[in-house]
Amino acid sequence: MPERANLAGALVAVAMYATCIVVFVSRLASRPQIGHAVGWVPFGLAVPLMILLVLAPRLDRPWLYWLQICLMLAFLVVELLLDYVLKVDFRRTRWAVVGYVMLFFAGTGGLLGVARLAGRGWTIAGGILFLAMAVLTFVQRAVTGM
């Protein structure tokens, strides 16, 4: 069972990074509606993350594993509330953007640690996608202001 959980964690991390890349590229391509539609995918990824949390005690995971997953789930809750439920235009307020970006990178960076448990190949794939996502995050912010 640990191998399956490790693989599930790696797949969630890679899917999260790929989804973020699509969102940022769609914004750069002046197609934010695509990014908004694709932006629902991470909320579906919350389900396997919650399952991984439920399995964590049985798999004897360290506290850092719990923290990594909880930070990603916290980001997803904030994202859901701000962008989809309340539709708050917070990206023009510097302090709000700084907190949002910090939580985003804490969550997505933590997923790299989760992916690492599945082995070197997943760590490399996750690392490459994480770096691509990180670069696109700042490029699209500089270009679009969002």
Tell me the one-letter amino acid at 97.
V
Which tokens is 69 given? 């997953």
| Cα Rg of the chain (Å, integer) | 15
**43-63 confidence digits (pLDDT tens):** 999 999 999 999 999 999 999
Q: Model pTM?
A: 0.91
Distance separating alpha carbons of residues 19 and 65, to the nearest angstrom: 22
**What confidence score (pLDDT) does residue 97 get?**
81
Nearest to 79 by CA among 94, 91, 92, 66: 91
Distance separating alpha carbons of residues 71 and 53, to the nearest angstrom: 12
**71-116 confidence digits (pLDDT tens):** 999 999 998 988 778 887 877 777 888 888 999 999 999 999 999 9
